[in-house]
Each structure stands twice: as structure tokens, then as C-alpha cells.
A and B are shown apart, each in its own frame.
Chain A
Amino acid sequence: MRTPGLLVALAVLAAAFFALPLVGLVAEAPWSAVGGALLSPRVTRAALLSLGASTAAVALGLVLAFPLAWVLARTRFPGRRWVRGLVLLPMVLPPVVAGVGLLTAFGRRGLLGGALDAAGISVPFTTFAVVLAATFVSAPFLVVTLEAGLAGLDRGLEEAAATLGASDLRILATVILPGLGPALAAGIALAWTRALGEFGATITFAGNLRGRTQTLPLAVYELLQTDAGAAILVSVVLLAICLAAVALVRSGAFGEPR
């Protein structure tokens, strides 16, 4: 079927719908105040915390996601579909629900609260809580991309390496991980940006304290009430970071874009 003109017109409208809020941010930003706004202690502390917590969340996410993705991609067991659904749930769950869930699991009165308390550990309102909240919402992106990557690998190469006497560890390091490179990089970019943007689970589970749990999105929300210009400038920075991540994933730098 040919592409009707009406469809093209609607597609242009749709593209404008996604573009306008981004254009608005850039157009409304008070660029003359950019230095003062972005270098204020509140923003720099939030930025450092956000970058560190997102990176830690991806690292922790990889530890959780790799074994899960492997088992999902390469084994058959009853309830496998349910496990996959469970892992995907955080992607569609309202983040505030994720935050309440984390409290009911790791909070002082949560399921593990007594045990954690006995060990002298209190998770809510700490930077670790920020990392946990970000991991919960972002690791599913790693599971999805790694599972697809593992399923797409040529098992023949692994068998050939095994026939030639390579150990499992050597096969993992020289055959599997290099083959997973593009999927791994795309997953890391998606998970890292999702972690960076996390708000609802963070405010619920980790609270809002400058230098300890106040991430960039929380700083934007707070700034919006007193200094909208600064809030817009920080939003533009977050937008630029996310744009770079999407461009990286789509550029084919990690292999063919899906």
C-alpha cells in the first residue's frame, strides 16, 4: 500500500508532540544564568549523587541481570514465563508503588527490616536506598537486552571452542562476552538513563536530603517551586544526557540498531 498523505500529516503531528516539550525546555531556559544555576552547590551535589548512584545501580543491575538473562535464555524450566514477567514488571509499575514495595521489603518495619536492624543496617533515607530504588526500576532493561543478546549468539562458536579444549571460563571471556558487546552496551545505556531519571521510587524509599539522597530529578522538583529558571536549566542538562544515550544506542556504535 502506498503511504497516504493524511498518514504523513498525522505522523508529523505526532513527531511535533514529542518534540515540542523538548524545544520548550531549550527555548525557555534562561541561558544568561546558566553558570550560576548549574554550578550552585545544590545542583552540583545532586549531579554528583545522580551520576554515582546511576552508575552503581547499573553495576549492581549487571550482577543481578546476567545470571537471570542466562537462565531465561538458555534453560527451560516450569514457570519460566512467570519469572520473565516478574522481571519485566518494574518497567510498567508506577515508580511510587515500587518505592512503597521497597519500604515493605527493606524498611524498618519491612519483611527484612528486623533482620537488617539486628545487623545494624538501616536502608531507607540512605544513598544506598537511592541505588536500590534505581536498580529496581532499571535492571529489567539489562535483563531484556542481555537475554535477547544471549539468544542471538551463534552456539556453534561456543561448541567449536569447547571441542578445541577451551574451558567454560575461557569460552565466556573470549566468545560469549565479545559477542554480547552490542547488547550489553545498549542495555547499559538504557538502564543508566532510566536510573538517572528515577523520581517516584526514590522520594518514597530514599527521601529527599541534599548531598545524601537528593538526585537531580528531585532537585528539579524542589527548584521548580522557587527558581523555575534554574529548574529548566537542570532539565536541559538531563535532556542532553538522555539524548546522548539514545543517540549512542541508535547510532549503530553497538552494532545494528534493533
Chain B
Amino acid sequence: MTGAAAAATCLAVFACDPGERPRATDATVLAAASLAGPFEEIAEAYERSRPGARVALELAASSTLAAQVRAGARFDVLVTADERTMAAAWRAGLVERPSTLATNRLVVIAPSDDPGGVRGVEDLARPGVRVVLAQADVPAGAYARAALAALGIEAEVERNVVSNALDVRGVAAAISLGEADAGIVYLSDLTPALRGRVKVFPLPERVSVRAVYPIALASSPEHPAGARAFLDLARSDAGRRILAAHGFGLP
């Protein structure tokens, strides 16, 4: 059948890709999606400092990572975007005692052509504004709803929500594509590429929710030496400089 033939061609094309010589994985790092920018840099720095080493970096919603860890996924380092998810993993004996790596703040973003006429977080409650939030079970979604509740507009905004993104990057994508009118993301999500496509509005000081990112070693790491070395690098001055450059706060 032609479909099968097309699939076979597709497979053959990828299999024929010469690619790089495979290197052994030296550290498996599970990190909250919002850490994508700095952790890709920290992973690169780690690989430069240890020739031949390779970091396997998985970026997803903290709750997704926690579910994988609970299901028995092998890993070395876990970083979540909230203390609740990490505390649960610690209580379950899956990670060593966590420590705070970084902090983050929330901002409202709207497409640069501003189809919804958004001037600040209050506009998210105006009927007809199409809002995208991270789903309530992931930290970014929980923080956003806490801030909206503090402003007393949570119910109104919830009625305007057109999609609950599976992680915070899904919010940034919907706004940068201009498909929704406004969303709430972390300050650190404002990569140079995203900044060029969106308008940014800070949350009022009185409700600005501070996200806390705990980091911890796995209780039974897959690569004990690599795990410790990666954690030390992330917490070093070099690691902190990278985090700060991406808009994260430091403890």
C-alpha cells in the first residue's frame, strides 16, 4: 500500500541521516518547562566542561515530570517550578532534600498587534477577551490563578479562557502566534524571540506571586557523579549568571 511505502521512505530518510557519533549520557535532568532557556545553556556548559559527556534534558510541566518520576522514570536531577510538587516527591522518598535554585515572577502578555486591546491584567476579565492560561494542575497555571484570585477577577477571567495549555510554553506559543488575546507567563519566558512578538504588562506589586524553583538530586540517581556535578554547576556562580540573564531571581 502506498501509505506504508511512504512511511518506509520516511523512516529510511531518517535512518540514513549520518548524525553524530553517539555519546554516553552522563546526567538525566528533568526540569520545569519554564527553565528551557537557562537549562539548555547550563547543559551546554556542562558538556563543554566534561568532554564526551552528554546531558539528557527533559523539559515539561512540573506535574508531568512528577508523574513520570512517580511512575519509576530513571533520572538524576529534578527541578520543579513550585515547592508543593517537589515536597511531594521528597516525602515519597524519590529525591534528596531539595534546595531553592531560583525564583520567577508572572507577567501578562498580549500579541504585539493587540487584537484584544489589552492594557493590563484587569483587561483579562473584560468579556470577549480570549485568554490562554496554563492548566490549573501545572505550577504556572496555579500561580496565575492565585494572582487573579488576589485581584478578585478569577471567575471573570476563567470565563474568558479559551484554552488551558499543557505547560507554560503552550501559553507563550498561543500568544506569539496571535491566536489568543492575552495570557499569563513567567517573566523568564520572555525570550528575545518572544519579546519581538508580544507586549508585556507586569502584575501589580501587591499581587505579584513569586514562583520558587527547588532543585534536588534523585534518591537513586542513574549517574551519581554526573548528577552531583550538574547540580553543583547549576548552583555555581556560572549557573546563577545564566539564570539571572534569563530573568530569573536568585535566592
CA of A209 to CA of B164, assembled, Å: 6
Residues of A close to B161: CB separation below 8 A: 209
Q: Are A92 and B177 in contact (CB under 8 A)?
A: no
Q: Are A225 and B64 in contact (CB under 8 A)?
A: yes
Interface string of B173-192 (1 = CB under 8 A from A): 01001111000000000000
CA of A84 to CA of B179, assembled, Å: 32
B179 to chain A, nearest CB (A): 5
Residues of A close to B179: CB separation below 8 A: 103, 107-109, 124-125
CA of A208 to CA of B166, assembled, Å: 8
Q: Are B67 and A88 in contact (CB under 8 A)?
A: no
Interface string of A77-106 (1 = CB under 8 A from B): 000000011001101100000000001000
Interface: A226 (CB within 8 A): yes
Q: Are A109 and B177 in contact (CB under 8 A)?
A: yes
Q: Are B166 and A92 in contact (CB under 8 A)?
A: no
Interface residues of B in 1-54 (CB under 8 A from A): 1-3, 6-7, 10
Residues of B close to A209: CB separation below 8 A: 161-164
Interface: B103 (CB within 8 A): no
Q: Are B3 and A88 in contact (CB under 8 A)?
A: yes
Q: Are B63 and A226 in contact (CB under 8 A)?
A: yes
Interface string of A224-246 (1 = CB under 8 A from B): 11101000000000000000000
Interface centre among A88, A144, A206, A210 (most CB of B within 10 A): A88
In this complex, what residue of A is CB-closest to B162? A125
Q: Are B7 and A207 in contact (CB under 8 A)?
A: no
Residues of A close to B105: CB separation below 8 A: none
Residues of A close to B80: CB separation below 8 A: none
B63 partner, pick from A91, A109, A213, A225, beta carbons under 8 A: A225
Interface string of A154-177 (1 = CB under 8 A from B): 000000000000000000000000
Interface: B89 (CB within 8 A): no
Interface: B168 (CB within 8 A): no
Interface residues of A in 26-48 (CB under 8 A from B): none
CA of A36 to CA of B67, assembled, Å: 21
B3 partner, pick from A92, A125, A213, beta carbons under 8 A: A92
Interface: B61 (CB within 8 A): yes
Interface residues of A in 129-166 (CB under 8 A from B): 140, 144
Known: A92-B3, A103-B177, A209-B161. A203 touches B67 (CB 8 A): no
A227 to chain B, nearest CB (A): 10
In this complex, what residue of B is CB-closest to A221? B166
Residues of A close to B70: CB separation below 8 A: 228
B59 to chain A, nearest CB (A): 15
Known: A125-B163, A125-B179, A208-B165. A108 touches B2 (CB 8 A): no
Interface: B115 (CB within 8 A): yes
Q: Are A88 and B6 in contact (CB under 8 A)?
A: yes
Q: Are A144 and B3 in contact (CB under 8 A)?
A: yes
Known: A125-B162, A207-B163, A225-B64. A108 touches B178 (CB 8 A): yes
CA of A221 to CA of B3, assembled, Å: 28
Pick the interface stretch among B131-139, B144-152, B243-251. Answer: B131-139
B157 to chain A, nearest CB (A): 13
Q: Are A88 and B10 in contact (CB under 8 A)?
A: no
Residues of B close to A103: CB separation below 8 A: 177, 179
Interface string of B56-75 (1 = CB under 8 A from A): 00000101101100110000
* Closest 6 pairs (CB-CB, A-B): A207-B163, A225-B63, A125-B162, A109-B178, A124-B179, A88-B3
- Give 10 pairs: A residue, B residue, CB < 8 Å, sorted on A: A91-B7, A108-B178, A140-B3, A203-B166, A208-B135, A209-B161, A209-B164, A224-B64, A225-B66, A226-B63
Q: A109-B177, A109-B179 are in contact. List 20 more A-B contacts (CB 8 A).
A: A84-B2, A88-B2, A91-B3, A92-B7, A92-B10, A108-B178, A125-B130, A144-B1, A144-B3, A207-B174, A208-B164, A208-B165, A208-B166, A209-B162, A209-B163, A210-B164, A212-B162, A213-B163, A225-B67, A228-B70
